[in-house]
Amino acid sequence: MKRSLNSLGFIRSLLSDILMNSEFENATFFTGGCVRNHFLNRDISDVDICVNLPEGDKKLAEYLFQRGLGTKPVIYKNTQTVKISFQGITLEISSAYNAAGNSSYPTSLEEDALRRDFTINSLYLSVNTGDIFDFTGTGLRDLREGLIRAVRSPVQVFADDPLRILRGIRFAAEYGLRIEDNTWQAIQLHNESLLQIARERTKKEFILMLYGPDPARAINLLASSGTLEIVSPGTMYITKGKDALSFSGIHTVELLKTCQPDPLARWLCYLKEYVRSTYGLSSSMDFDSQTDNMQQWLKNMLNTFFLPSQLIKKLLSVLSVYALMNLKQTESLDISDKEIRTAVYNLRISFPLLMQLLKHDIQVMPEKARKIENLLSRMEKIHQVMDSHSFPLNGRIIISALGVSPGPSLGRLLEKAKNYWLEEPSLSKEALLHRLVYDNPKKAE
């Protein structure tokens, strides 16, 4: 379990004593996100350390491990770092690199700083003395002024790794910072370079933004930079070239401002307007066919984000019910009590999220406000009643009472009993069994 720190003071006091009189004493520095968060008074979970020695990353990790002070080092060749756990805190150790990306011979921290992404991530704090080194000359000032600025020419910084485009947007949303003008222009001009890197990396950054503290601002920044269509195509109906959201996109951002910090809730808030504005528009296709198409498109899209299958299943369930209810509301069709009970039963703990999506429709469709409010009132009452009634039958009870063998016929009987119960949830176990007997279960075989 990771340990969260409020500052670097605790870990620095431990490390400075351990490294005293060793080759690492004056060559070890905190850097990156942990120094940034230290100055922003944010919690720190992972600690980045830079060692200004040839192969210093491996040497320091081994030094701590051999003394029983850290776990066995894990070398990550793709990121050129070594990770260990020290006092329950993850240390990500790197060596200072020169402009050519080589750590095998001595270089300077200044060269290492200029290889990083943004000035706020390029500060160094000496483990030994606590001194701060700001080699870009603007890192501390940018932190004070709330600016995200590329350490060098932004075009070069993003050419080195296009993912930095998304990282800059994520930092701006997560920490409430503004992106410096030249850096912002480079993001807008070069965002298509994101297509050159593995989609796993871009999707991971998008999810971090969606699950982050301010997903609404993240989506706004992605859209206004022309980047949203690259990392999440088709979901927001971006209009006016690269600088605006559609009507449905604006409402999505508003909904995300109050969305609870839960993966299911965040994805529902993000996709809700896409579903509302898309389904029920085609008169040439029945609702079931439209729902099948919607589910297939959503499933394919969500799979590209490598989401857990259980989360995708829940998303499709809630959005399908929402699409049906929204369509019926739009076309002034009745929604039966049984349909609501079925939604309560099938969605279970996700049902309140469905109600939140419909509640948001009051803002989107004010002309339907009274009808939606009446529907929500009915849903709330039915939800309360259903909470006090659980489906009283299961396969074992039916087998025991009716002598039915396990198999497809048993499944059909369970579905039939559930259908009776959803029509009238006050029916007891005995009443449901009586109805099944009356229907002659042998016909189901």
The tokens for 100 are 């050519």
pLDDT at 329 (0 to 100): 81
Percent with pLDDT over 90 in the chain: 62
What band does 249 get if pLDDT is binned at 50, 70 and 90? confident
Q: How many whole angstroms separate alpha carbon 319 and alpha carbon 322?
A: 5
**Residue 172 shares a structural domain with residue 194:** yes
Q: Are 261 and 269 in contact (CB under 8 A)?
A: no
Q: How many whole angstroms separate alpha carbon 175 and alpha carbon 219?
A: 15
Q: Is 28 helix (H, G, I), strand (E, B) or coil?
A: strand
**Mind listing the pLDDT tens digit for each residue in 51-73?**
999 889 999 999 999 988 889 99
What band does 295 get if pLDDT is binned at 50, 70 and 90? confident
CATH number of the CATH domain containing 191: 1.10.110.30
**Residue 35 shares a structural domain with residue 79:** yes
* Gyration radius of the chain's alpha carbons: 28
The span from the first CA to the last CA of the chain, in angstroms, equals 53
CB-based contacts of 19, cutoff 8 Å, min separation 6? 25, 28, 127, 128
The tokens for 383 are 């939800």
pLDDT score of 1 more than 70: no
**Residue 42 shares a structural domain with residue 131:** yes
253: in domain: no
The tokens for 165 are 């485009």
Q: How many whole angstroms separate alpha carbon 318 and alpha carbon 20?
A: 58
Higher-confidence residue: 438 or 250?
250
pLDDT at 79 (0 to 100): 74
What are the two backbone dihedrals, phi and then psi, of residue 197, each rounded to the nearest 5 degrees? -105, 165
Q: Is 236 helix (H, G, I), strand (E, B) or coil?
A: coil
**135 lies in which domain range?**
9-143
**Residue 125 shares a structural domain with residue 25:** yes
**Residue 289 shares a structural domain with residue 367:** yes
108: in domain: yes
Q: How high is the mean pLDDT of the chain?
A: 88
Average pLDDT over residues 342-354: 94
**Residue 126 shares a structural domain with residue 16:** yes
Sign of CA dihedral 427, 428, 430, 432: positive
181: in domain: yes
Task: Give the global pTM.
Answer: 0.87
Average pLDDT over residues 324-343: 88
**Residue 86 shares a structural domain with residue 175:** no
228: in domain: yes
CB-based contacts of 442, cutoff 8 Å, min separation 6? none
Average pLDDT over residues 301-319: 93
Q: How many whole angstroms separate alpha carbon 417 and alpha carbon 435?
A: 8
Average pLDDT over residues 281-305: 77
Kindly give the residue spans of alpha helices, DSSP state H, lying in 67-137.
109-113
- Give the closest residue to 292 by CA, choosing from 334, 324, 263: 324
Angle formed by the axes of helices 309-330 and 287-303, nearest 10°: 150
Domain end point (choices 213, 245, 277): 245
pLDDT at 5 (0 to 100): 57
331: in domain: yes
pLDDT at 210 (0 to 100): 97
Average pLDDT over residues 85-96: 89
Least confident residue range of 2-6, 7-11, 111-115, 244-248: 2-6
Average pLDDT over residues 371-400: 91
pLDDT at 442 (0 to 100): 52
pLDDT at 426 (0 to 100): 86
